[in-house]
Amino acid sequence: MNPRTPKSAPAMASPTRPDNYVLVVFGATGDLAKRKLLPGLFRLAAGGLLPKQYRIIGSAPRQFSLSDSDFKKHAKDAVEEFGGITPTPEAWQNFEAALSFASADPDDTAPLLAAVDLAEKEIGSKPRRLFHLAVPPAAFRSMVELLGASKLNVGSRIIIEKPFGTDLASAVALNKTVHSVFDESQVFRIDHFLGKESVDNILALRFANQLFEPVWNRDHISHVQIDVPETLSIEGRANFYDATGAFRDMVVTHLFQVLGVIAMEPPSKLTAEALRNEEVKVFDALVSINPKHVVRGQYEGYLQEDGVAPNSTTETMVAVEAKIDNWRWSGVPFYLRSGKSLGANRQVVTLGFRQPCLKMFAIDRESKGSGSGGEIVIDFGDPGSITSNFLAKEPGPVMRLGRASMVFEYQNSFNAANELEGYEHLILEAMLGDQSLFTRADGIERLWEVSAPLIENPPPVEPYARGTWGPDSINRLIAPHAWHLPET
Ligand code: NAP
C-alpha cells in the first residue's frame, strides 16, 4: 500500500451518523489494532463520524491484560505512529475518555461483561454493540462461542477478520459456529480491499456512466489482470506465512473480491442485498481453478528466513488464470498475481481491449502494451487513479501511431481530506449496519470451493530473484497477452 500523506481527520460527507455504540476490540494489543484500528477509530472520532456517544473497550486474554491507563497510552502511541495525524489535546481527551480495557477468556468473561455493562450505563438508553475480532484466525471460534455463552451476541454486530477459513471445510465449519451464535444479518466478514475508495469507485465508473459499461464484456475485452505485487518480504511473519502462502493470503481474500466488483452485473439498486447477490453470482460462475494454469513462485532466500521450514514448498508469489463461465465473460481470462519481494508495491486492475476488427493501421510492437486495442488501467492503491491507454496519431507527415493516455487521479480531483482509509470506512459501515462491502457466507465458501483443485494439487514452486516479477513462466501463463506491470 502506498504511504499515506499526513492529513486532517475526514470530514462528514453525509449526515448519517451511527447510533450510540459500545465497541469491543478483541486483540486490542495486536498489530492490526495498533496500525489500523486504533488510529482509524481516532480519525473517525476527530472527523465527527463516530456516534454522539460511544465507548471503545480494548480486550485481550487475561495474561496480557492492560490497565485502562496503559491501554490509553498504547492507543495514543498507535495514533501518533500510524494515524498520519497529530491529535489536538482536546480531540485526544475526548477520545481517551471513551477508552477502557477488559480481559476476556472463554472461562472468565466477568471482566468483559462488567466493562460492557458499565459502558452501556454510562451511555444510557441501550446503545448498540459491535465486536471486532482482531485476533488470530485460530481464536475466531472461541471468541464467537464466548459471545454466545455470555449472551453478548443478542442484538449485537460482529466484525470478523480475514482469512475466513483456510479451505472449504474450515470455512464451512467456521460459518456453522458463527451462525450458531449470530444471524447472518449481524455478521460483517471484513476484507479491507473492499473498503478502499478506489474499489468503490469501480462501481461508480461502471454504473454511473454510459461510457464504459457498454464495452465491459467479452465482445470488447480480451483479458483482465488483477495485479497486487508487494516489495516486502515476509518480514518476520514466517509462522503465519509459511502455513498460508500467497494464494490463501491474497487471492482467496482480496483479489477474488476485486474480481467480484470488476465482473458483476449491474445491481438493480445500490443495496447490500442487491450488490452481494451480484457478487456471489460471479463467484458461482467461476470455473474451478486449474492447477495447470497457475504459477507458484518462491523468492530466492525464502528457505533461509527465520522460522521457515527447511524444505518448505509454500509459494511467496502466485499467478492464477481464472475463468468466469457466464454470458458477459465467457472466453475472457482473468489473470490474478500477487506475492512478496516482487518488483513494486502496486494494486492494479487492467482491462485489455480486443484489437479493432479492421486493421487499417500498421501497429508496431512498441505501441502494443498489454492490450493492443487499448486498455483501461485502474490503480486501486490509495489514493488511486484510472487511466485509459489508447493509440493516437503522432504529429508529423506520416501516419504513425503512438501510445497516448487519459488519466483521472483521485488525489488531484477531489478533496482528499474526505478520504477514508479502508478500515475506517468498513468500521463505519458496520456501525451503520450496511453489509454491502462485507463478504457473505455463501460467497466465501464458493471461493474456497473453486480453489480446492489448486489447494489439493498445487504445481511445484519455481524460484525467482527478489525484486523481479516472478519466474519466467508467468509470461507463458498470460501469453499472447503481456503483464501490464512493470510499466515501461
Ligand atoms: P497479532 O499481532 O498476533 O495480534 C493478535 C491479538 O489477538 C493480540 O491482541 C493477541 O494478544 C490476541 N490473541 C492472541 N491469541 C488469542 C486468543 N487465543 N484469544 C484471544 N485473543 C488472542 O495479530 P494481528 O496482526 O493484529 O492480526 C489480527 C487479525 O487481523 C488476524 O486475523 C489477521 O489475519 C487479521 N489481519 C491483520 C492485518 C495486519 O496488518 N496485521 C491485516 C489484515 C488482517 P497478545 O498480544 O496478548 O498475544
Helix (H, G, I), strand (E, B) or coil at 272: helix
**Is 135 inside any structural domain?**
yes
Once rounded to an integer, what is the mean pLDDT over residues 464-477? 98
**Is 487 inside any structural domain?**
no
Q: How far is the CA of 32 from the centre of ligand 1 (A)?
A: 7
DSSP character string of 78-122? HHHHHSSSPPPHHHHHHHHTTEEE---BTTB-HHHHHHHHHHHHH
Query: Range of 136's domain?
Result: 21-161
**Is 236 inside any structural domain?**
yes
Q: Within this chain, do residues 232 and 94 fall inside the same structural domain, yes or no?
A: no
pLDDT tens, 3-61?
A: 333 345 555 445 578 999 999 999 999 999 999 999 999 999 999 999 999 999 999 99
Q: Within this chain, do residues 416 and 318 fall inside the same structural domain, yes or no?
A: yes
Share of the chain above pLDDT 90, in %: 82
CATH code for the domain in which residue 229 is found: 3.30.360.10
Q: How far is the CA of 281 from the centre of ligand 1 (A)?
A: 32
Q: Within this chain, do residues 60 and 207 fall inside the same structural domain, yes or no?
A: no
**Is 118 inside any structural domain?**
yes
Q: Within this chain, do residues 380 and 469 fall inside the same structural domain, yes or no?
A: yes
Atom index in ligand 1 nearest the CA of residue 142 equals 19
The pLDDT score that the predictor gives to residue 364 is 57
Residues 405, 345, 136, CA angle at the centre, nearest 5°? 135
Q: pTM for the complete prediction?
A: 0.92
Mean pLDDT of the chain: 92
Of the listed ranges 3-17, 209-223, 324-338, the least confidently predicted one is: 3-17
Domain count, the chain: 2
d(CA 301, CA 298): 9
Neighbours of 114 (CB within 10 A): 11
**Residue 1 confidence class, pLDDT cut points 50, 70, 90:** very low
User: E strands of 410-481, at which residues?
Assistant: 461-464
CATH code for the domain in which residue 141 is found: 3.40.50.720
Asked if residue 76 has pLDDT above 60, the reply is: yes
Asked if residue 371 has pLDDT above 70, the reply is: no
CB 433 within 8 A of CB 157: yes
Helix axes 38-46, 89-96, angle to 10 degrees: 120
Q: Within this chain, do residues 129 and 203 fall inside the same structural domain, yes or no?
A: no
CB of 161 within 6 A of ligand 1: the answer is: yes
Neighbours of 260 (CB within 10 A): 23
CB of 137 within 6 A of ligand 1: the answer is: yes
Q: Within this chain, do residues 149 and 255 fall inside the same structural domain, yes or no?
A: no
**Is 433 inside any structural domain?**
no
Whose C-alpha lies nearest to ligand 1, atom 12?
A: 27
Residue 45, C-beta contacts closer than 8 angstroms, at least 6 positions apart: 9, 54, 91, 94, 95, 98
Q: Which of 1, 25, 32, 254 to mutate to test the pocket of ligand 1 (most atoms within 8 A of CB)?
A: 32
d(CA 384, CA 337): 19
pLDDT tens, 122-179?
A: 999 899 999 999 999 999 999 999 999 999 999 999 999 999 999 999 999 999 999 9
Q: Which of 1, 24, 71, 135 to mutate to test the pocket of ligand 1 (most atoms within 8 A of CB)?
A: 135
CB 136 within 8 A of CB 162: no
**Is 153 inside any structural domain?**
yes
